[in-house]
Amino acid sequence: MKILNYKLLLCVFTFLSLSQKGISQDKISKALKSWNKGTIPYVYFDHMPTTDSIAFLDTREKEEFEVSHLKNALWVGYKKFDEQVVLETITDKDQPIIVYCSIGVRSEDIGEQLKELGYTNILNLYGGIFDWKNKGGEVFNDQEIATDSVHAFSKHWGKLLHEGIKVY
């Protein structure tokens, strides 16, 4: 009887945690449909191109980037986006670029600005760093050391982050 109760409890826990992640994914999808215009195509964690020539651009605020970012990402900011930094760093306008933020809203805005600058190969990371971490992706702090901490932007948006340690 105890084994049956344990198995039932394990099944219920598994269902709830899987459905919670599914709900989170649905919330990310709804937010992106509501806030984004679809002007920058998405790239998905599960279908990431495998090439070393991709430039990852972090479009969050500096304090978010310092807590966690993708490996070798270039911080370009959002409110203080400095196009000159991008123009000087990425001189090949056809180089693959993946922009990201917390879930993919701010990064679309920066992606649009990159298009206006003449960049031709821009993708927006679907679900941003939250989806990346939720699916097991590695993130790094300002010392380029792997970390479990992720800047969650706010308590509201932090509900979409289920893996790692939320930092506000």
Tell which residue, 137, 124, 79, has the closest CA to residue 97.
124
From the candidates 70, 98, 101, 114, which is the catalytic residue? 101
Question: Which CATH number fits the domain that encloses residue 10?
Answer: 3.40.250.10
Our answer to whether residue 101 is catalytic in this structure is: yes
User: In total, how many domains does the chain have?
Assistant: 1
Give residue 52's pLDDT band: very low, low, confident or very high (50, 70, 90). confident
Tokens 């003449």 -> residue: 118
Strand 146-147, strand 97-100: pairing: unpaired
In tens, the pLDDT along 98-151 reads 999 999 999 999 999 999 999 999 999 999 999 999 999 999 999 999 999 999
Q: Where in the sequence is the domain holding 137, given as residue range(s)? A: 2-167
